[in-house]
Amino acid sequence: MTHHSKRYVALKVMYFGQRFYGFASEAQMDPTVEESQYSRCGRTDKGVSSVGQVIALFLRSNLKETDQNHKITGELFPEARIEGEIDYARVLNRVLPSDIRTLGWSPVSIDFSARFSCLAREYKYFFWRGNLNLSAMENAGKKFLGEHDFRNFCKMDAANVHNYRRRITQFEISSSNMSFEGGQLCAIKVKGSAFLWHQVRCMVAVLFMIGQGLESVDVIDILLDIEKTPRKPQYAMAPETPLILQSCEFEDVKFICSSDSGQALRIHLENEGRAYQLQSAIFQEAALSCLPLAKDQSLLNDGTIKKVTSHIPLLSRPTEPSYEERRAKLNSRR
Protein backbone atom coordinates (compact mmCIF):
# COMPACT_ATOMS: atom_id res chain seq x y z
CA MET A 1 0.00 0.00 0.00
CA THR A 2 1.43 3.36 -1.04
CA HIS A 3 1.74 5.85 1.82
CA HIS A 4 1.15 9.45 0.81
CA SER A 5 2.51 12.36 2.81
CA LYS A 6 0.28 15.34 3.42
CA ARG A 7 0.80 18.99 4.07
CA TYR A 8 -1.30 21.86 5.32
CA VAL A 9 -1.79 24.53 2.65
CA ALA A 10 -3.70 27.74 2.08
CA LEU A 11 -5.39 28.20 -1.29
CA LYS A 12 -6.31 31.53 -2.85
CA VAL A 13 -9.58 31.02 -4.71
CA MET A 14 -11.80 32.97 -7.11
CA TYR A 15 -15.38 32.15 -7.95
CA PHE A 16 -18.19 33.80 -9.87
CA GLY A 17 -21.13 34.34 -7.54
CA GLN A 18 -24.00 34.01 -10.00
CA ARG A 19 -23.44 30.27 -10.25
CA PHE A 20 -21.88 29.72 -6.84
CA TYR A 21 -23.83 28.86 -3.72
CA GLY A 22 -21.55 30.45 -1.15
CA PHE A 23 -19.18 29.18 1.50
CA ALA A 24 -20.92 27.43 4.38
CA SER A 25 -19.69 27.77 7.92
CA GLU A 26 -17.20 25.18 9.14
CA ALA A 27 -19.90 23.65 11.34
CA GLN A 28 -21.96 22.78 8.29
CA MET A 29 -19.18 21.00 6.42
CA ASP A 30 -19.20 17.30 5.61
CA PRO A 31 -17.23 15.18 8.16
CA THR A 32 -14.68 14.22 5.50
CA VAL A 33 -13.90 17.91 5.02
CA GLU A 34 -13.72 18.55 8.76
CA GLU A 35 -11.05 15.83 9.03
CA SER A 36 -8.90 17.81 6.58
CA GLN A 37 -8.87 20.71 9.10
CA TYR A 38 -10.72 22.94 6.67
CA SER A 39 -11.13 26.66 7.34
CA ARG A 40 -12.18 29.56 5.14
CA CYS A 41 -11.51 33.26 5.53
CA GLY A 42 -14.67 35.06 4.46
CA ARG A 43 -18.21 33.76 4.61
CA THR A 44 -19.72 34.78 1.27
CA ASP A 45 -23.39 34.19 0.65
CA LYS A 46 -25.01 32.80 -2.46
CA GLY A 47 -24.51 35.20 -5.37
CA VAL A 48 -21.41 36.92 -3.93
CA SER A 49 -18.18 36.54 -5.92
CA SER A 50 -14.55 36.45 -4.85
CA VAL A 51 -11.15 37.03 -6.38
CA GLY A 52 -9.32 36.61 -3.09
CA GLN A 53 -11.04 34.04 -0.89
CA VAL A 54 -8.60 31.92 1.15
CA ILE A 55 -9.21 28.41 2.42
CA ALA A 56 -6.87 26.09 4.31
CA LEU A 57 -6.85 22.29 4.42
CA PHE A 58 -4.63 19.20 4.29
CA LEU A 59 -3.72 18.04 0.80
CA ARG A 60 -1.70 15.13 -0.53
CA SER A 61 1.98 15.93 -1.05
CA ASN A 62 4.78 14.66 -3.28
CA LEU A 63 7.32 15.33 -0.57
CA LYS A 64 8.28 12.64 1.88
CA GLU A 65 9.24 13.39 5.46
CA THR A 66 11.36 10.83 7.30
CA ASP A 67 12.06 10.23 10.96
CA GLN A 68 15.44 9.44 12.57
CA ASN A 69 15.24 5.85 11.25
CA HIS A 70 14.62 7.14 7.70
CA LYS A 71 11.06 5.84 7.75
CA ILE A 72 8.35 7.85 6.04
CA THR A 73 6.24 9.44 8.76
CA GLY A 74 3.57 11.18 6.70
CA GLU A 75 3.92 14.17 9.01
CA LEU A 76 4.35 17.76 7.93
CA PHE A 77 7.67 18.92 6.55
CA PRO A 78 9.31 22.33 6.82
CA GLU A 79 6.88 24.85 5.41
CA ALA A 80 9.46 26.47 3.15
CA ARG A 81 10.00 23.34 1.05
CA ILE A 82 8.23 23.64 -2.29
CA GLU A 83 10.71 22.08 -4.75
CA GLY A 84 9.21 18.95 -6.26
CA GLU A 85 5.81 19.65 -4.75
CA ILE A 86 2.51 19.11 -6.54
CA ASP A 87 1.45 22.07 -8.69
CA TYR A 88 -1.77 22.44 -6.70
CA ALA A 89 -3.20 25.27 -8.83
CA ARG A 90 -2.70 23.32 -12.06
CA VAL A 91 -4.10 20.05 -10.69
CA LEU A 92 -7.14 21.64 -9.04
CA ASN A 93 -7.99 23.93 -11.95
CA ARG A 94 -8.15 20.93 -14.28
CA VAL A 95 -11.13 19.53 -12.37
CA LEU A 96 -12.88 22.66 -11.05
CA PRO A 97 -15.93 24.18 -12.81
CA SER A 98 -15.09 27.00 -15.24
CA ASP A 99 -16.20 29.74 -12.82
CA ILE A 100 -14.11 28.53 -9.85
CA ARG A 101 -10.33 28.73 -9.97
CA THR A 102 -7.37 28.33 -7.64
CA LEU A 103 -5.18 31.44 -8.06
CA GLY A 104 -2.30 30.19 -5.92
CA TRP A 105 -1.26 28.18 -2.88
CA SER A 106 1.01 28.61 0.12
CA PRO A 107 2.37 26.18 2.71
CA VAL A 108 1.21 27.22 6.19
CA SER A 109 1.82 26.09 9.76
CA ILE A 110 -0.50 23.63 11.47
CA ASP A 111 -1.92 26.38 13.73
CA PHE A 112 -2.94 28.53 10.75
CA SER A 113 -6.63 29.36 10.40
CA ALA A 114 -7.88 31.02 7.23
CA ARG A 115 -10.53 32.72 9.35
CA PHE A 116 -8.78 33.67 12.58
CA SER A 117 -5.27 34.30 11.20
CA CYS A 118 -6.63 36.90 8.75
CA LEU A 119 -5.41 40.43 9.47
CA ALA A 120 -7.71 42.28 7.06
CA ARG A 121 -10.40 41.69 4.46
CA GLU A 122 -11.26 43.92 1.54
CA TYR A 123 -14.56 44.01 -0.34
CA LYS A 124 -15.59 45.78 -3.53
CA TYR A 125 -19.13 46.64 -4.54
CA PHE A 126 -19.74 47.60 -8.20
CA PHE A 127 -22.57 49.90 -9.25
CA TRP A 128 -23.69 52.12 -12.13
CA ARG A 129 -23.21 55.78 -11.34
CA GLY A 130 -26.44 57.01 -12.93
CA ASN A 131 -27.61 60.16 -11.13
CA LEU A 132 -26.03 59.25 -7.79
CA ASN A 133 -24.25 62.00 -5.85
CA LEU A 134 -20.83 60.35 -5.40
CA SER A 135 -19.49 63.22 -3.32
CA ALA A 136 -22.28 62.81 -0.73
CA MET A 137 -21.75 59.03 -0.73
CA GLU A 138 -18.00 59.47 -0.20
CA ASN A 139 -18.51 61.92 2.66
CA ALA A 140 -20.99 59.53 4.27
CA GLY A 141 -18.72 56.52 3.74
CA LYS A 142 -15.80 58.23 5.50
CA LYS A 143 -17.92 58.22 8.66
CA PHE A 144 -17.55 54.42 8.74
CA LEU A 145 -13.77 54.74 9.25
CA GLY A 146 -12.49 53.70 12.66
CA GLU A 147 -14.08 51.40 15.23
CA HIS A 148 -17.87 51.53 15.58
CA ASP A 149 -20.80 49.39 16.63
CA PHE A 150 -22.31 48.22 13.31
CA ARG A 151 -25.41 46.47 14.67
CA ASN A 152 -27.61 48.79 12.55
CA PHE A 153 -25.62 47.81 9.44
CA CYS A 154 -25.88 44.01 9.51
CA LYS A 155 -28.19 41.06 9.86
CA MET A 156 -28.09 40.46 13.59
CA ASP A 157 -27.30 36.97 14.87
CA ALA A 158 -27.94 37.48 18.58
CA ALA A 159 -27.63 33.76 19.33
CA ASN A 160 -23.98 33.61 18.25
CA VAL A 161 -22.63 37.16 17.93
CA HIS A 162 -22.41 39.36 21.01
CA ASN A 163 -19.87 41.99 19.94
CA TYR A 164 -20.90 44.20 17.04
CA ARG A 165 -17.91 46.52 17.13
CA ARG A 166 -15.78 46.34 13.98
CA ARG A 167 -12.93 48.48 12.64
CA ILE A 168 -13.01 49.91 9.11
CA THR A 169 -9.56 51.00 7.93
CA GLN A 170 -10.25 52.11 4.37
CA PHE A 171 -13.18 53.43 2.36
CA GLU A 172 -13.15 54.87 -1.13
CA ILE A 173 -15.31 55.22 -4.23
CA SER A 174 -13.66 55.04 -7.65
CA SER A 175 -14.65 54.94 -11.30
CA SER A 176 -13.67 51.98 -13.44
CA ASN A 177 -12.71 52.01 -17.13
CA MET A 178 -15.91 50.11 -18.00
CA SER A 179 -19.10 51.70 -19.28
CA PHE A 180 -22.32 50.55 -20.89
CA GLU A 181 -24.56 52.68 -23.09
CA GLY A 182 -22.87 55.77 -21.69
CA GLY A 183 -23.30 54.65 -18.06
CA GLN A 184 -20.18 54.73 -15.88
CA LEU A 185 -19.33 51.71 -13.72
CA CYS A 186 -18.05 52.64 -10.25
CA ALA A 187 -16.88 50.67 -7.21
CA ILE A 188 -17.01 51.11 -3.45
CA LYS A 189 -13.97 49.65 -1.68
CA VAL A 190 -14.21 48.81 2.02
CA LYS A 191 -11.38 47.32 4.09
CA GLY A 192 -11.51 46.17 7.69
CA SER A 193 -10.20 43.59 10.13
CA ALA A 194 -13.50 41.67 10.11
CA PHE A 195 -17.11 42.10 9.03
CA LEU A 196 -20.53 41.18 10.36
CA TRP A 197 -23.13 39.16 8.47
CA HIS A 198 -24.35 41.23 5.45
CA GLN A 199 -22.49 44.28 6.80
CA VAL A 200 -21.15 45.55 3.47
CA ARG A 201 -24.50 45.15 1.69
CA CYS A 202 -26.28 47.08 4.48
CA MET A 203 -23.67 49.85 4.40
CA VAL A 204 -24.02 50.13 0.61
CA ALA A 205 -27.84 50.20 0.80
CA VAL A 206 -27.79 53.27 3.06
CA LEU A 207 -25.09 54.93 0.92
CA PHE A 208 -27.32 54.49 -2.15
CA MET A 209 -30.16 56.27 -0.32
CA ILE A 210 -27.77 59.14 0.43
CA GLY A 211 -26.54 59.17 -3.17
CA GLN A 212 -30.13 59.45 -4.39
CA GLY A 213 -30.76 62.40 -2.07
CA LEU A 214 -33.30 60.41 -0.05
CA GLU A 215 -31.27 60.52 3.19
CA SER A 216 -28.81 63.04 4.62
CA VAL A 217 -25.14 62.25 5.17
CA ASP A 218 -25.74 62.63 8.92
CA VAL A 219 -27.94 59.51 9.04
CA ILE A 220 -24.72 57.45 9.23
CA ASP A 221 -23.77 59.12 12.55
CA ILE A 222 -27.26 58.49 13.94
CA LEU A 223 -27.27 54.80 12.95
CA LEU A 224 -23.77 54.29 14.39
CA ASP A 225 -24.93 55.78 17.72
CA ILE A 226 -26.55 52.77 19.37
CA GLU A 227 -27.53 54.84 22.44
CA LYS A 228 -29.73 57.00 20.20
CA THR A 229 -30.67 54.21 17.81
CA PRO A 230 -30.66 50.84 19.62
CA ARG A 231 -33.01 49.27 17.05
CA LYS A 232 -32.20 48.93 13.35
CA PRO A 233 -34.73 50.55 11.00
CA GLN A 234 -36.12 48.09 8.49
CA TYR A 235 -34.53 48.48 5.06
CA ALA A 236 -33.56 46.18 2.20
CA MET A 237 -29.92 45.25 1.70
CA ALA A 238 -28.12 46.08 -1.54
CA PRO A 239 -28.22 43.18 -4.05
CA GLU A 240 -25.59 40.43 -3.67
CA THR A 241 -24.42 40.08 -7.29
CA PRO A 242 -22.18 43.20 -7.51
CA LEU A 243 -20.29 42.32 -4.29
CA ILE A 244 -16.87 40.64 -4.39
CA LEU A 245 -14.44 39.58 -1.69
CA GLN A 246 -11.37 41.30 -3.12
CA SER A 247 -8.58 40.13 -0.81
CA CYS A 248 -7.69 38.55 2.53
CA GLU A 249 -4.41 39.58 4.17
CA PHE A 250 -2.17 37.38 6.32
CA GLU A 251 1.22 37.70 7.93
CA ASP A 252 4.02 35.79 6.16
CA VAL A 253 1.73 34.01 3.68
CA LYS A 254 3.01 34.27 0.11
CA PHE A 255 0.93 32.54 -2.52
CA ILE A 256 2.69 30.55 -5.25
CA CYS A 257 1.54 29.94 -8.80
CA SER A 258 3.85 28.32 -11.37
CA SER A 259 4.39 30.18 -14.63
CA ASP A 260 2.57 27.43 -16.57
CA SER A 261 -0.41 27.52 -14.21
CA GLY A 262 -0.44 31.33 -14.22
CA GLN A 263 -0.47 31.48 -18.02
CA ALA A 264 -3.25 28.89 -18.29
CA LEU A 265 -5.22 30.77 -15.64
CA ARG A 266 -4.94 34.13 -17.42
CA ILE A 267 -5.99 32.60 -20.76
CA HIS A 268 -8.99 30.91 -19.10
CA LEU A 269 -10.15 34.10 -17.33
CA GLU A 270 -9.72 36.20 -20.48
CA ASN A 271 -11.79 33.69 -22.45
CA GLU A 272 -14.50 33.72 -19.77
CA GLY A 273 -14.51 37.52 -19.86
CA ARG A 274 -14.88 37.53 -23.64
CA ALA A 275 -17.78 35.10 -23.41
CA TYR A 276 -19.65 37.45 -21.06
CA GLN A 277 -18.86 40.44 -23.30
CA LEU A 278 -20.44 38.55 -26.19
CA GLN A 279 -23.57 38.08 -24.09
CA SER A 280 -23.52 41.80 -23.30
CA ALA A 281 -23.31 42.58 -27.05
CA ILE A 282 -26.42 40.46 -27.64
CA PHE A 283 -28.38 42.38 -25.01
CA GLN A 284 -27.23 45.66 -26.57
CA GLU A 285 -28.48 44.48 -29.96
CA ALA A 286 -31.81 43.52 -28.40
CA ALA A 287 -32.11 47.00 -26.86
CA LEU A 288 -31.44 48.58 -30.26
CA SER A 289 -34.07 46.32 -31.82
CA CYS A 290 -36.84 47.38 -29.43
CA LEU A 291 -39.84 48.99 -31.04
CA PRO A 292 -39.75 52.80 -30.84
CA LEU A 293 -41.88 54.41 -28.17
CA ALA A 294 -45.12 56.04 -29.21
CA LYS A 295 -44.96 59.83 -29.39
CA ASP A 296 -47.10 60.36 -26.33
CA GLN A 297 -44.91 57.96 -24.36
CA SER A 298 -41.70 59.67 -25.41
CA LEU A 299 -43.13 63.01 -24.28
CA LEU A 300 -43.94 61.52 -20.88
CA ASN A 301 -40.52 59.89 -20.51
CA ASP A 302 -38.21 62.88 -20.82
CA GLY A 303 -35.26 61.17 -19.17
CA THR A 304 -36.52 61.57 -15.62
CA ILE A 305 -36.84 58.47 -13.47
CA LYS A 306 -40.34 57.86 -12.23
CA LYS A 307 -40.37 57.04 -8.54
CA VAL A 308 -42.11 53.72 -8.02
CA THR A 309 -42.77 54.26 -4.33
CA SER A 310 -42.34 57.26 -2.07
CA HIS A 311 -39.34 57.05 0.25
CA ILE A 312 -39.99 56.67 3.96
CA PRO A 313 -37.09 58.22 5.95
CA LEU A 314 -35.03 55.56 7.73
CA LEU A 315 -35.60 57.08 11.15
CA SER A 316 -39.38 57.04 10.61
CA ARG A 317 -39.55 53.35 9.70
CA PRO A 318 -40.56 50.36 11.83
CA THR A 319 -37.57 48.89 13.62
CA GLU A 320 -36.23 45.41 14.26
CA PRO A 321 -35.83 44.14 17.84
CA SER A 322 -32.71 45.34 19.64
CA TYR A 323 -29.90 42.96 20.61
CA GLU A 324 -31.09 43.00 24.24
CA GLU A 325 -34.66 42.18 23.21
CA ARG A 326 -33.46 39.33 21.01
CA ARG A 327 -31.33 37.91 23.83
CA ALA A 328 -34.24 38.13 26.28
CA LYS A 329 -36.44 36.23 23.84
CA LEU A 330 -33.77 33.57 23.34
CA ASN A 331 -33.30 33.17 27.11
CA SER A 332 -37.06 32.84 27.68
CA ARG A 333 -37.14 29.78 25.41
CA ARG A 334 -34.63 27.90 27.56
Shared domain for 103 and 194, answered yes or no, is no
Shared domain for 126 and 109, answered yes or no, is no
Tell me whether residue 225 is one of the annotated catalytic residues: no
Neighbours of 138 (CB within 10 A): 18
Higher pLDDT, 23 or 94: 94
Shared domain for 81 and 165, answered yes or no, is no
Strands 243-249 and 49-61: parallel
Higher pLDDT, 130 or 295: 130
Measure the CA–CA gap between 205 and 18, rounded to whole angstroms.
Answer: 20
Q: Which of 45, 87, 99, 221 is catalytic?
A: 45
Domain end position, chosen among 216, 245, 274: 245
Dump the DSSP string for 23-82. Answer: PPPGGGS-HHHHTTT-EES----TT-EEEEEEEEEEEEES---B-TTS-B------TT--
Domain end position, chosen among 245, 273, 300: 245
Segment 45-65 shows an average pLDDT of: 89
Domain assignment of residue 302, yes or no: no
**Structure confidence by residue, pLDDT tens digits, 98-143:** 999 999 999 999 999 999 999 999 999 999 999 999 999 999 999 9
Shared domain for 88 and 135, answered yes or no, is no
Cα first-last separation, the chain: 52
Domain assignment of residue 177, yes or no: yes
pLDDT band, residue 65 (cuts 50/70/90): low
Segment 255-276 shows an average pLDDT of: 94
Burial class (CB in 10 A: 0-12, 13-18, 19+), 85: middle
pLDDT higher than 50, residue 244: yes
3-state DSSP call for residue 309? coil
The kind and range of the H/E element at 211 are helix 199-211
Higher pLDDT, 165 or 158: 165
- Where residue 234 sits, what CATH number does that domain have? 3.30.70.660
Q: What is the pLDDT of residue 14?
A: 94
Shared domain for 103 and 164, answered yes or no, is no
Segment 46-62 shows an average pLDDT of: 93
Domain end position, chosen among 263, 292, 324: 263
Segment 234-258 shows an average pLDDT of: 95
Strands 165-180 and 146-149: antiparallel
**Structure confidence by residue, pLDDT tens digits, 7-35:** 999 999 999 887 665 654 544 444 444 45
Domain of 40 in residue numbering reads as 6-67+76-116+251-263
Least confident of 169-183, 220-234, 241-255: 169-183
